[in-house]
Amino acid sequence: MKIEELFSVKDKVAVVTGGSRGIGEMIASAYLANGATVYITSRKADVCDAKAIELSERYNAQCTSLPSDLSSLEGIEKFVKEVEAIESGIDILVNNAGAAWAEPIDIFSEKGWDKVMDLNVKSVFFSTQKFLPLLKKKATRENPSRVINIGSIDGIGTPVFETYPYSASKASVHHMTRVLAARLVREDILVNAIAPGPFPSDMLGSAVAHNYEGIISRNPVHRMGRAEDVGGLALYLSSKAGSYTVGETITCDGGTISATGHDLSE
Instruction: Please state the three-class secondary structure of 184-211 as a single string.
Output: HHHHCEEEEEEEECCCCCHHHHHHCCCC
The pLDDT value recorded for residue 213 is: 83
Question: Could you give the CA distance from residue 245 to residue 194 in angstroms, rounded to a whole number?
Answer: 12
Instruction: Point out which residues pair with 15 in neighbouring strands.
Output: 39, 93
For residue 260, is pLDDT > 70?
no
Question: Could you give the CA distance from residue 185 to residue 141 in angstroms, rounded to a whole number?
Answer: 9
Closest CA to 123 of 166, 173, 50, 48: 173
Range of the domain at 247: 3-260
- Residue 265 within a domain: no
DSSP code at position 153: G
In this structure, which amino acid lies at residue 7? F
Q: What's the CATH code of the domain at 249?
A: 3.40.50.720
- Residue 179 within a domain: yes
- Residue 49 within a domain: yes
Model confidence, pTM:
0.94
Q: How confident is the model at residue 209 (pLDDT cuts 50, 70, 90)?
A: low
Q: Is 59 a catalytic residue?
A: no
For residue 5, is pLDDT > 70?
yes
- Residue 8 within a domain: yes
Q: How confident is the model at residue 200 (pLDDT cuts 50, 70, 90)?
A: confident
pLDDT digits (tens, 9 = 90+) for 12-35: 999 999 999 999 999 999 999 999
pLDDT digits (tens, 9 = 90+) for 164-193: 999 999 999 999 999 999 999 999 999 999
| Radius of gyration of the chain measured on its C-alpha atoms | 18
- Residue 201 within a domain: yes
Question: Could you give the CA distance from residue 60 to residue 48 in angstroms, rounded to a whole number?
Answer: 18
Catalytic hit among 31, 39, 59, 166: 166
Q: How confident is the model at residue 96 (pLDDT cuts 50, 70, 90)?
A: very high
Q: DSSP secondary structure string, 87-103?
A: -S--SEEEE--------
Q: How confident is the model at residue 201 (pLDDT cuts 50, 70, 90)?
A: confident
- Residue 266 within a domain: no
Percent of the chain with pLDDT over 90: 86
Kindly report each contact of residues 178-181 with a partner whose C-beta sits within 8 Å and lies 24 or more positions away, as own/partner: 178/247, 178/249, 180/125, 180/128, 180/147, 180/149, 181/246, 181/247
Three-point CA angle 7, 12, 14, nearest 5°:
105
- Residue 227 within a domain: yes
The pLDDT value recorded for residue 92 is: 99
- Residue 38 within a domain: yes
For residue 203, is pLDDT > 70?
no
pLDDT digits (tens, 9 = 90+) for 226-237: 999 999 999 999
> In 34-186, which ranges are continuous DSSP H helix?
45-59, 73-84, 110-117, 123-138, 164-184
> How many structural domains does the chain have?
1
